[in-house]
Structure 1
Amino acid sequence: MVSALALAGCTSGDSVVVNTPDAESSTSALAPETSGSTDPDASTNGYSGFWAVADAQPETLATGLESPWSVIPYRDGYLVSQRDDGEIVYVDADGSQTAIGEVEGVVSGGESGLHGLALLDDGGQTYLYAYHGAEDDNRVVRMTLDELELGASESIVTGIPRANTHNGGRIHFGPDGYLYISTGDAQQRHAAQDRDSLAGKILRVDAEGNAAPDNPFDNLVYSLGHRNVQGFAWTSDGIMWASEFGQNTWDELNVIEAGGNYGWPTVEGIAGEEGFIDPRIQWSPSEASPSGMAAKGDTLFLATLRGQQLWVIDTAAGEVGGKPVEFVPEGVPARIRDAGIDSDGSLLILTNNTDGRGSPSDEDDRLLRIELTEA
């Protein structure tokens, strides 16, 4: 099952490898059927089928953002996290920007600072969740959000190892109502294989930060063996996908299952080694270095930093439908940090040229929107 876009624009070459497991080795990755509050930022957005980019020319929603890391729709606009100064910026529908406050306790440095955002509406009270670097760790906090008034920060998960690099940082509420948190190995390579460490994992907690009751190891850990996951999303069939930075050889796109071991640091990329789950796609880091990811229906939109493009990937029942498609927005030579789905179903793109590794222009960084069409 491949979209019209994929049929028209398949990528060739050995630097992008699609792995299609046989039926015996393939495992189910459906989200557990559990109860919990749902989240306006979460999961599948109510869409199905395959989606393609309607026009390569994006609409600019905001310019002049400083080291932006995450974007989520809110009210008639967008909330953007800025990594280095710890600010939450609200971008209105007319493009005006309002700094609604700094998240308390953010300590920036290297690749750490203010990272992912997620929203939860709980009985009429809106909470904003954030992942950020603190003095000695990475942590997840929540704050009340009334209109544009940001409340005090309450830590719900602490003790996630932090380092100059490999800090993970993406958070989303899943279709099951639980909060999923991606962490990096924080340069502690072998901690990724330690079930009792929070490094190199995807965590799954309730709204207060407690372990989800059916987590596979009776702790916060949902999956392990990750080097640095900065993007994940659910397609319309409830399957969870995650993007992962490799070291020098392969970046990865994985199907995530409860208790799954994704191999780092023992293996990188498609290894075929017993006990580890191979990625569905692997890329050379020069073509990817993947960060945020969004899903609409059964199509994934993967933001890349070194690749400076989006990869558009059709999926079906946990498999990839043909080669992924490269998409480069016109007039936007940029590292792309995050991708999201707007409330109207269009695609949001957050550039990242001002994080110290890009080459910023006068307007960087930018929040962009691109229309999608059913394929």
Structure 2
Amino acid sequence: MTPTRRTLLAAALGAAALLTGLVPPSSAATAPASEPTGVTTLSTGWTIPWGTAWLPDGSAALVTERDTFTVYKVTPSGTRTRVGTVPNSQTTGGEGGLMGVAVDPGWATTRHVYFMHTSSEGNRIARMTYDGTTLTGYTTIVRGIRKARYHNGGRLAFGPDGYLYASTGDAQVTSLAQDRNSLNGKILRMTKDGRPAPGNPFGTLVYSLGHRNPQGLAFDERGRLWEAELGQNSRDELNLIKPGANYGWPACEGTCGVAGMTDPKKTWGVAEASPSGIAVADGAVYMASLRGQRLWRIPLDAGTEEVGTATAYYVGTYGRLRTVTTVPGAKHLWLSTTNADGNGGQPAGSDRILEVTIG
């Protein structure tokens, strides 16, 4: 058979397959993008599991419970062990308490773990020592983050640059988000002892401003920082964070096109999202949604700063979804519920950690 005839026959067979439904249309041009392929329950008996951070060796993750101030070690198989509590913590009668956790990338040497939590005077970032069995020691590295019943932010993440990033809410005082002298309504970037990281745009801890209640932070394969935040009554946001950029709150909720303010890369109505944690896996941002009770997948464009069409999974199946985390060395995600948080209507102990396979 000549090359021309072979090419024509292949095209005809491909068209026939599409028409008969044997091949999905997306495979005609490129291989289908990875997406969630299954979900199982990994661990039960939780009460508002808020933050998750893996040890660098992948042997276990540390998981915080917001209102009990307790930290657990969870193995890849789901075995849970209590390792301690974070002192000086308190709730706010709303969304404050023990929130984010981040493990020092050099943990094998330092044994340091970082927490963001509410205390008597405000929200703090603190460092403790975890020897693989027990949490000990306590050092506050950042104070002065105003607290409120709601809008405390709370996420921590180490960047590929080795510095610690933190998200803070506006503490229900909207003007703080635009105040460069305030630590509220910001993304902060710091050294491991809480000092402003070299290269910060204003010479302070502030890395970006104009945020309402950011609860999602994750870095992609290109080292870019993505952030998700809860809107007020209109639009929730997914932002690409750049140093010194102003993301608009309270002048803007969602896209507004105001000079000097940076528009989000994607928005949602608050009823279909109200996002908390995010993770990046296989070229996409995965976003856990509280009020929306679903997991969003937002594909990233490898060559631009744009994002593709968002797809929702597990809508209403598991209730309020708080944190999504990649599993080291595996095409899996951990996804936690917080249905016992006062808004989900479930009792203490009803939350769980799910494992999602992608492929």
Shared fold (TM-score, shorter chain, > 0.5): yes
Cα distance in 2 between the residues matched to 1:302 and 1:53: 13
- Partner SS, residue 278 of structure 2: strand
Give the equivalent residue in structure 1 for 2:308.
322
Cα distance in 1 between the residues matched to 2:312 and 2:44: 24
- 1:313 partnered with 2:298: yes
Give the equivalent residue in structure 2 for 1:72.
53
Residues 286 and 145 (structure 1 numbering): CA distance in 2 closer, same or farther, change over 3 Å? Answer: same
* 1:313–1:320 contact (8 Å) kept in structure 2: no
Give the equivalent residue in structure 2 for 1:87.
70
- Partner SS, residue 128 of structure 1: strand
Greater RCO, CA 8 A, separation 6+: 1
Residues 318 and 161 (structure 1 numbering): CA distance in 2 closer, same or farther, change over 3 Å? Answer: farther
Tell me which of 172, 175, 178 is aligned to 2:163. Answer: 178
* 2:237–2:254 contact (8 Å) kept in structure 1: yes
Tell me which of 232, 237, 240 is aligned to 1:252. Answer: 237
Q: How do 1:182-331 and structure 2 match up within 5 A?
A: 182-316=167-301, 317-328=303-314
* 1:104–1:152 contact (8 Å) kept in structure 2: no
Tell me the TM-score normalised to structure 2 length.
Answer: 0.86
Cα distance in 1 between the residues matched to 2:26 and 2:33: 12
Give the equivalent residue in structure 2 for 1:104.
87
* 1:290–1:304 contact (8 Å) kept in structure 2: yes
- Equivalent AA in structure 2 for residue 111 of structure 1: E
Cα distance in 2 between the residues matched to 1:274 and 1:149: 50
- Equivalent AA in structure 1 for residue 44 of structure 2: T
* 1:185–1:191 contact (8 Å) kept in structure 2: yes
Cα distance in 1 between the residues matched to 2:138 and 2:26: 47
Identity, % of aligned pairs? 42
* 1:255–1:318 contact (8 Å) kept in structure 2: no
Unaligned runs of 5+ residues in structure 2 are: 1-22
Cα distance in 1 between the residues matched to 2:312 and 2:101: 27
CA shift for structure 1 position 362: 8.8
Cα distance in 1 between the residues matched to 2:77 and 2:139: 32
* 1:350–1:367 contact (8 Å) kept in structure 2: yes
* 2:266–2:307 contact (8 Å) kept in structure 1: no
Cα distance in 1 between the residues matched to 2:197 and 2:33: 31
* 1:203–1:222 contact (8 Å) kept in structure 2: yes
* 1:172–1:179 contact (8 Å) kept in structure 2: yes
Once the two structures are superposed, what CA deviation does each residue of 1:27-65 show, in whole Å capped at 9, x if it has no partner?
xxxxxxxxxxxxxxxxxxxxxx9531122xx12111011
Give the equivalent residue in structure 2 for 1:51.
34
* 1:291–1:305 contact (8 Å) kept in structure 2: yes
Give the equivalent residue in structure 2 for 1:142.
127
Give the equivalent residue in structure 1 for 2:345.
359
- Equivalent AA in structure 1 for residue 344 of structure 2: G
Residues 354 and 5 (structure 1 numbering): CA distance in 2 closer, same or farther, change over 3 Å? Answer: farther
Give the equivalent residue in structure 1 for 2:356.
370
* 1:61–1:366 contact (8 Å) kept in structure 2: yes
Once the two structures are superposed, what CA deviation does each residue of 1:64-101 show, in whole Å capped at 9, x if it has no partner?
11111011223533211000010001223443322211
- Partner SS, residue 351 of structure 2: coil
- Equivalent AA in structure 2 for residue 106 of structure 1: S
- Equivalent AA in structure 2 for residue 245 of structure 1: L
CA shift for structure 1 position 178: 0.6
- Equivalent AA in structure 2 for residue 216 of structure 1: P
- 1:114 partnered with 2:74: no
* 2:123–2:145 contact (8 Å) kept in structure 1: yes
- Equivalent AA in structure 1 for residue 88 of structure 2: G
* 1:6–1:322 contact (8 Å) kept in structure 2: no
Cα distance in 2 between the residues matched to 1:289 and 1:263: 18
* 1:64–1:363 contact (8 Å) kept in structure 2: yes
Tell me the TM-score normalised to structure 1 length.
Answer: 0.83
Residues 365 and 106 (structure 1 numbering): CA distance in 2 closer, same or farther, change over 3 Å? Answer: same
Aligned length, in residue pairs:
327
Residues 68 and 147 (structure 1 numbering): CA distance in 2 closer, same or farther, change over 3 Å? Answer: same
* 1:288–1:306 contact (8 Å) kept in structure 2: yes
Cα distance in 1 between the residues matched to 2:222 and 2:326: 17
Residues 77 and 213 (structure 1 numbering): CA distance in 2 closer, same or farther, change over 3 Å? Answer: closer
Cα distance in 2 between the residues matched to 1:240 and 1:256: 5
Cα distance in 1 between the residues matched to 2:26 and 2:215: 28
Give the equivalent residue in structure 1 for 2:321.
336
RMSD: 2.2
Larger helix percent: 2
